[in-house]
Amino acid sequence: MSGAKKLSSMDASFLYLETPEMPMHVGSIAIFRLPENYAGNFFEDFKAMIASRLHIAPILKARLEKAPLDIDHPSWVEDDQFDIDRHIFRGSLPAPYDRATLERIVGWMHAKLLNRARPLWEFYVFEGMKDNEIGLYSKMHHACIDGGAGAALTNMIYDVSPVPREIPEPTARRKGGPEPREMAANFIDSYQQLWRQPFDGSTMAKGIDLPRSGKSDLGSILFDNAMFQIESAVKFAGSVPAMLKSVSEVVAKVSDPKSRDSIASMASPPTILNKSISSERSFAGVSISLSEAKALAKQSGGKLNDVVLALSSGVVRRYLISQGALPNKSLTAGVPISLREEGNTDANNQVFGMICSIATDIEDPKARLEAIIAQSSKSKEMSHPLRALMPQVSNVSMLGAPILVQIMALLYSRSNLSDVLPPATNITVSNVPGPRQTLYAAGAELLHIFPVSIAVHGVALNITVQSYRDQLDFGFIAGANVIPHVQVLADMLPEELAALQAAYASPPDAQSVAS
């Protein structure tokens, strides 16, 4: 990457909120199958392939550079000591060399912080598994990436045929930031651009691009921050009408008596899942048919995401009943929503979220799914006006804020406040769309890709789903002090799918009449 690139406030927040008990990296377990009679060295072949493609995703060679005294957000700078052997490792599985063993080990490994002195990612290749399988555990800090930008990395790692495609060599780029004379010229051009059409709303909304020094000394940081504040003021002025419209819509919805029930349904009851978490994780993965889940969505008049919420709700409901801890009020789920526009592959976070009731107070699976469809529609309607505000609040920059936020995050983590405060949401459920065609890496066929996400204080359980081919790969991760063996929940998922299918199946007498 050329020059330094300062992190946005949203990206940087994942660094500030990180504590030893709450790592802020995301990952996955990819399961591959080697071809019959494979005689190569998959680990070395895979590492060589990634090394030849690093220029496709420059963030993989970027390390953090902190601002002096932490007065501003850190920047991404190219790591001039980058060594791929510090990022791709050969893992080792004990007997019986199966997926369950891999999942237990990954749960333990996912709790370990990434080294901030290096680019914030690691790959672990586990060879010698049963059925000629290979396991690839990857993790990358959330400050680098969200699910949408992950598609760009997928393009780097995977091919659509067993023979890896040829990737063009990177083009040479000038290193270092602009010269002072060049910066002055750019600043004058930008100043003239700003005042040439000062009352053009479309120009104001787009904003201007002022020059940056791209350096990390105190004077350069103060200069760059001043440029950022000017840019932000111009963009803010251009977006005021849209923001005022959003605020008025929110006020109207809150004051509407019809919306009060929707707001009340978003309140989360306290549960055994909403506790402070330890620095240990429990992980499990399980797959179900994508076609079957889509058929349920069609039958119910909902969407695939509603079915994912219903399956997650049913699993959590079964687990809480088994623990004698199901509350009378319905649990809620925090559901991330991507703000990324189609075609945008920037390696940063462009995400929003909503809170949705998941009807755990309803026993009948069919009635539960129908309630979730209704509630998710209301939640989207309630949260929609806020989406326009997110670009304005996601990149706020205040000098001195980073160190303050880090201190507050550490105090919150160590004070166990999440044990006594009402939970904002009970669980996290995220659905990430993936490729339908078969993918390969270094000649091996990709069978599954189970997401390994983030558990946080107060929301110990995260269920993230990745679609691939005709399957939905569920990844369950939890604070191990709250759910010691999250495999119990994963084992319930096929049962919950079967119960939901049975609820929508035609009754026997209707089948006999039809025949």
CA angle 306, 309, 315 (to 5 degrees): 145
Point out the catalytic residue in the list 142, 384, 448, 485. 142
Looking up tokens 């920047």 gives: 75
Distance CA 203, CA 197 (A): 8
Q: Which of 55, 65, 60 is nearest to 87 (CA)?
A: 60
Active site residue 142: yes
CA-nearest of 151, 157, 77 to 120 is 77
**Across the beta sheet with 25-33, what order do the strands follow?**
88-91, 121-126, 133-141, 25-33, 444-452, 440-441
Rounded distance, CA 313 to CA 358, Å? 6
CA atoms within 13 A on the CB side of 513: 5
Which helix (H) or strand (E) segment is 452 a member of? strand 444-452
Residue 461 in contact with residue 274, Cβ under 8 Å?
A: no
- Measured over the CA atoms of residue 193, residue 198, residue 200 and residue 202, the dihedral's sign is positive
Cβ contact 449:468 at 8 Å:
yes
Dist CA 85 CA 51 (whole Å): 10
Q: Residue with structure tokens 């008049």?
A: 301
Active site residues: 142
